[in-house]
A and B are shown apart, each in its own frame.
Chain A
Amino acid sequence: MMRDAEAGRLLGIGLLAVAAALICCGALDAALAQGNPFGAGPGPARAAGPDGIIGWIMTKQSEFYRGLSGMIRAAKSDGTAVFGLLGLSFAYGIFHAAGPGHGKAVISSYLVANEETWRRGVVLSFASALLQALVAVAIVGIAAVALGATAKMMGDTVRVIETASYLLIVAVGLRLLWVKGRGFLNALQAVTAQPALVPAGPAAMLGAHHDHDHDHDHDHHGAHEGHHHHDEACDHAGHSHGPEPEELAGAGGWQRGLSAIVAVGLRPCSGAILVLVFAFAQGLFWAGVASTFVMGLGTAITVAAIATLAVGARSLAERLAHRRSGYGTLALRGIEVAAAVLVVAFGALLLTGYMVSERMFAV
Chain B
Amino acid sequence: MIGRFARPLCLAFAVLALSVAAAAAHPHVWVTMKSELVYAPDGKVTGVRHAWTFDEMFSTFATQGLETKQKGVFTREDLKPLAEVNVTSLKEYDYFTKAKANSKKVEFKDPVDYWLEFTDGALTLHFFLPLETPVKAHTLAVEIYDPTWFVDFTFADKDAVTLAGAPAQCKLDVARPADAPAQGQQLGESFFSSLGANSDYGAQFANRIAVKCQ
Of A66, A151, A306, the most chain B CB neighbours within 10 A belong to: A151
B148 touches A356 (CB 8 A): yes
B89: Cβ under 8 A from any A Cβ = yes
- Given A69-B56, A150-B65, A362-B86 in contact, is the A320-B198 Cβ separation under 8 Å? no
B23 touches A29 (CB 8 A): no
A317 touches B6 (CB 8 A): yes
A29–B14 Cα distance when bound, in Å, is 10
Closest to B180 in A: A48
Q: Which of B6, B24, B190 contacts A100 (CB 8 A)?
A: B24
B23 touches A51 (CB 8 A): no
B66 touches A150 (CB 8 A): yes
A62 touches B204 (CB 8 A): no
Q: Which of A17, A68, A144 contacts B196 (CB 8 A)?
A: A17
Contact with A along B164-184 (1 / 0, CB 8 A): 000000000000011010011
A316 touches B8 (CB 8 A): yes
Q: Which B residues touch A102, using CB under 8 A?
A: 19-20, 23
Q: Which A residues touch B18, using CB under 8 A?
A: 20, 28, 54
By secondary structure, the B interface counts as helix
B65 touches A20 (CB 8 A): no
By secondary structure, the A interface counts as helix
Of B3, B12, B28, the most chain A CB neighbours within 10 A belong to: B12
Residues of B within 8 A of A (CB): 1-30, 55-58, 60-66, 82, 85-86, 89-90, 92, 94, 98, 105, 107, 148-152, 177-178, 180, 183-192, 195-196, 198-199, 201, 204-205
A316 touches B20 (CB 8 A): no
CB distance from A338 to the nearest CB of B (A): 8
B186 touches A32 (CB 8 A): yes
A239: Cβ under 8 A from any B Cβ = no
A223–B210 Cα distance when bound, in Å, is 63
Closest to B65 in A: A150
Q: Which B residues touch A328, using CB under 8 A?
A: 1-2, 5
A152 touches B85 (CB 8 A): yes
- Given A275-B57, A358-B150, A361-B151 in contact, is the A65-B28 Cβ separation under 8 Å? yes
The A176-206 residues at the B interface (CB cut-off 8 A) are none
Q: Which A residues touch B64, using CB under 8 A?
A: 144, 149-151, 154, 277, 280-281
The A132-153 residues at the B interface (CB cut-off 8 A) are 144, 148-153
Stretch at the interface among A83-91, A103-111, A242-250: A103-111
A68–B24 Cα distance when bound, in Å, is 20
A24 touches B13 (CB 8 A): yes
Q: Which A residues touch B6, using CB under 8 A?
A: 25, 317, 331, 335
A1: Cβ under 8 A from any B Cβ = yes
CB distance from B185 to the nearest CB of A (A): 7
Q: Which of B10, B19, B22, B92 contacts A25 (CB 8 A)?
A: B10
A362 touches B25 (CB 8 A): no
B195 touches A13 (CB 8 A): yes
Q: Which B residues touch A35, using CB under 8 A?
A: 186-187
A33 touches B57 (CB 8 A): no
Q: Which A residues touch B94, using CB under 8 A?
A: 1
A321–B6 Cα distance when bound, in Å, is 9
A112: Cβ under 8 A from any B Cβ = yes
A324 touches B188 (CB 8 A): no
Q: Which B residues touch A21, using CB under 8 A?
A: 192
Q: Which of B9, B25, B177 contacts A314 (CB 8 A)?
A: B9
Stretch at the interface among A210-218, A255-263, A266-274: A266-274
A55–B9 Cα distance when bound, in Å, is 24
A-B contact pairs, 5 of them (CB 8 A): A27-B10, A32-B188, A54-B18, A313-B12, A327-B1
Q: Which of A51, A105, A278, A339 contacts B57 (CB 8 A)?
A: A278
A309 touches B15 (CB 8 A): yes
B3 touches A17 (CB 8 A): no
- Apart from the given pairs A32-B186, A314-B8, 17 other A-B contacts in the complex at a CB distance below 8 Å: A13-B199, A16-B17, A21-B192, A24-B13, A25-B10, A32-B187, A33-B189, A50-B191, A65-B28, A151-B65, A274-B57, A277-B61, A281-B64, A309-B12, A316-B8, A320-B5, A335-B6
Of B1, B9, B184, the most chain A CB neighbours within 10 A belong to: B9
B58 touches A361 (CB 8 A): yes
**Which A-B residue pairs are the 4 nearest by beta carbons?**
A52-B187, A20-B17, A32-B188, A320-B5
CB distance from B126 to the nearest CB of A (A): 15
B185 touches A51 (CB 8 A): yes
